[in-house]
Structure 1
């Protein structure tokens, strides 16, 4: 299985909140505000005995805000990822760098594209490719400059989490609503998506030796998905965050017209086109998270942890299992800690971990090597914020993964620069 002032003053305030450094207005009037934001980042990475200059998670985004009837604000956001250093990059060591499978060789690929309508009373409605509501909880540990985001269940199946809805959700409808209290703020978020991608199914030896089953196009798919998250930000000290999230997508793996091929010869030969099968299941992941502090890399201390459990949300590395047990259940955790000081808060040290292990006896019994999947990375980094829009960083990762973990996991030392728009 292989496998986004209630006229010009309101718009300006939305632009100011769009990113840490602030977005750049391109055009502004009493009716609309068009802005651009994003950043360019690249680093020299020494890993696996080799040193390469690598693309970071560079991206640029255009947004349009259009104040509408009453207190409604509407508009759109379109964001593209950029492989600016090399369009043929083959080393991906950060979850946020993940693209949809068909986009991985592209110099420019879509990260988000959605419409929105926001109202202070009725909440925020968003339609299109967007950050899933699951990310409302898991983003709190996804702050590393080079790696990270590998164990929270966000970037499912080695992708950007689009088909599952846990990361940059494809074709999704979402609603978010905040309530403010004297002691803090509570937010609930809901998400829905229908079919977003076909499943390519190939199962060997299902009808005897030298046979393969292929699911006909359109019969096997990622079906309806749902997501929910709830977060509470308490006004305690520098700020306390508590959150929980759940995401589920239906795996429709069934057909009355399965194709059986004889593979004993030089070319596959179709021997049955009405093979019936049903192995449908659910792909789900759940997460809880907490942090204390203002935000990552803000003055003072910031500490965040995330724990997740999942079913069929992780994908076995190629060649690691026998038979059809490619998806596996897992549990994992992530952490991110930073301390920032100095004039203009320019110095930061940070550290943390990503830890993901299989929790699936059937999958573990089918492994060719080892008895469990284990990804274990510990990070230590330093960042110097030259000014509001330029930062220089060094990041180290110490790998404790086993032989079953993906090939790109290893110790690394990286030095890089990020320039915000």
Structure 2
């Protein structure tokens, strides 16, 4: 990507997510089942020298299942994020809390909205705002109660991953299919999306000093995107998971009608409306993941790790570079480990890390405060499951980030509660 382009994107759709809570039927008949699920979570967090009550990744979801002919099951899911504690909260220390530009301060914002059709033989087809197939691999480390999800490439560009399709993918068409064998099961996911967000492009000094190129509305955008995930779960001990995923979206940065402005005065003056340019590139991310165990917070040991590499899928804090954009190529890793015991699996110790570092010589050379971007956090927590739907947790984050990432992340101590519907 041409990093002399000053870019920002305008989302065309909202935000989505999956819920881990058990579904509660609202209405059932021979024709349809309407259900609700979700949870409320909040925690007291001490970070950046202040202590305050913060929103967790609370959400509420409604789903409708409609059995169709020949074993087909159809329906839809709609989910909203809920900021019940403080709608003006600006601190985000968890990837799953991310929202799209324009929705960061809304008390109620869309996380998911899609229709689906499932069949035992043909698999599951879905269309709309949904978890991308990339998350089929990276979810395995995204289990922290307070933080996490910062280094897997899922929530790229400081969003929910919607425009790129890595997280809660916007306007996506997806197909998933699972084959079961005596030794385990194999799952494949395919995904495609197109034109989900505009790019507002501005380039300084494009045809000389004091000139500015502006891309006309609708000409520059996130174009076609494609994703694939391959997952194998083996019947080894408590379970062995191995997965790989790749996602790419075309950045269509081209026009025959570029607008050139003279910026030598206070007010820019349009001097040309037919400037042709082409600086198209790609935003891509790939990840490998592995875990051993039943699942997070299940009885016994669970251990998971994810490694990722990406291009143009991360953003440094505004003002941290000179002369180029704050997009950068990166590599990172995440881990999550838990050990659970006790009556009804009520006690859990858990911990792990998130590590993200820039892998981009041009970006690194333009940084003001350091020679690279480095986010480095280690986590340690304890969870008490009061009953099937209520948990209380303590979580601590130990930050080792450098001066660039430390503008947004810090060590923290937190205590909180989550109540499932």
What TM-score comes out, normalization by structure 2 length? 0.95
Q: 1:406: how far off?
A: 6.0
* Residues 19, 46 of structure 1: alpha-carbon distance in 2 compared, 3 angstrom cutoff: closer
Quote the residue 1:99 is aligned against. 99
Deviates more, 1:264-273 or 1:303-312: 264-273
Q: 1:19: how far off?
A: 5.9
- SS of match in other structure, 2:340: strand
| One of 5, 8, 11 as aligned partner of 1:2 | 8
- 1:237-264 per-position Cα deviation (integer Å, ceiling 9, x unaligned): 1110000000000000111222222223
Quote the residue 1:127 is aligned against. 127
Distance 1:149 1:300 in 2: 23
Distance 1:203 1:292 in 2: 48
* Residues 67, 61 of structure 1: alpha-carbon distance in 2 compared, 3 angstrom cutoff: same
Quote the residue 1:90 is aligned against. 90
Q: 1:418: how far off?
A: 0.3
Alignment of 1:42-121 (within 5 A): 42-121=42-121
- SS of match in other structure, 1:157: helix
Any stretches of 5+ residues in structure 1 without a counterpart? 5-17
- SS of match in other structure, 1:298: coil
Given that 1:325 and 1:362 are in contact with CA atoms closer than 8 Å, whether structure 2 keeps it comes out as no
Distance 1:210 1:186 in 2: 57
Q: 1:266: how far off?
A: 1.9
Any stretches of 5+ residues in structure 2 without a counterpart? 1-6, 10-15
Quote the residue 1:207 is aligned against. 207
Quote the residue 1:254 is aligned against. 254
1:236 partnered with 2:236: yes
Distance 2:415 2:261 in 1: 50
Quote the residue 1:328 is aligned against. 328
Given that 2:87 and 2:107 are in contact with CA atoms closer than 8 Å, whether structure 1 keeps it comes out as yes
Alignment of 1:285-296 (within 5 A): 285-296=285-296
Given that 2:21 and 2:37 are in contact with CA atoms closer than 8 Å, whether structure 1 keeps it comes out as no
Quote the residue 1:11 is aligned against. none
Distance 2:309 2:59 in 1: 30
Distance 1:373 1:401 in 2: 8
Quote the residue 2:363 is aligned against. 363
Given that 2:390 and 2:418 are in contact with CA atoms closer than 8 Å, whether structure 1 keeps it comes out as yes
Quote the residue 1:155 is aligned against. 155
Distance 2:371 2:209 in 1: 26
Given that 2:21 and 2:38 are in contact with CA atoms closer than 8 Å, whether structure 1 keeps it comes out as no
Distance 1:105 1:263 in 2: 33
Given that 2:177 and 2:187 are in contact with CA atoms closer than 8 Å, whether structure 1 keeps it comes out as yes
* Residues 172, 406 of structure 1: alpha-carbon distance in 2 compared, 3 angstrom cutoff: farther
Quote the residue 1:14 is aligned against. none
- 1:92-141 per-position Cα deviation (integer Å, ceiling 9, x unaligned): 11100001112112110000000000000000000000000000000000
Given that 2:370 and 2:404 are in contact with CA atoms closer than 8 Å, whether structure 1 keeps it comes out as yes
Q: 1:204: how far off?
A: 2.2
- SS of match in other structure, 1:200: strand
Q: 1:21: how far off?
A: 4.6
Quote the residue 1:278 is aligned against. 278
Given that 1:204 and 1:323 are in contact with CA atoms closer than 8 Å, whether structure 2 keeps it comes out as no
- SS of match in other structure, 1:344: helix
* Residues 419, 210 of structure 1: alpha-carbon distance in 2 compared, 3 angstrom cutoff: same
Distance 1:19 1:358 in 2: 31
Q: 1:20: how far off?
A: 5.0
- 1:205-226 per-position Cα deviation (integer Å, ceiling 9, x unaligned): 3333333221111010000000
Given that 1:41 and 1:416 are in contact with CA atoms closer than 8 Å, whether structure 2 keeps it comes out as yes
Distance 1:414 1:37 in 2: 25
Q: 1:185: how far off?
A: 0.5
Given that 1:203 and 1:324 are in contact with CA atoms closer than 8 Å, whether structure 2 keeps it comes out as no
- 1:64-94 per-position Cα deviation (integer Å, ceiling 9, x unaligned): 0000011000000000001111111110111
Distance 1:42 1:387 in 2: 17
- SS of match in other structure, 1:146: coil
Quote the residue 2:22 is aligned against. 22
Alignment of 1:331-410 (within 5 A): 331-405=331-405, 407-410=407-410
- SS of match in other structure, 2:149: coil
Quote the residue 2:227 is aligned against. 227
* Residues 382, 141 of structure 1: alpha-carbon distance in 2 compared, 3 angstrom cutoff: same
Q: 1:271: how far off?
A: 2.3
Distance 2:316 2:195 in 1: 23
- SS of match in other structure, 1:133: coil
Deviates more, 1:204-213 or 1:171-180: 204-213
- SS of match in other structure, 2:266: coil
Distance 1:79 1:343 in 2: 32
Q: 1:324: how far off?
A: 3.1
Aligned-pair Cα RMSD in Å: 1.2
Q: 1:306: how far off?
A: 0.1
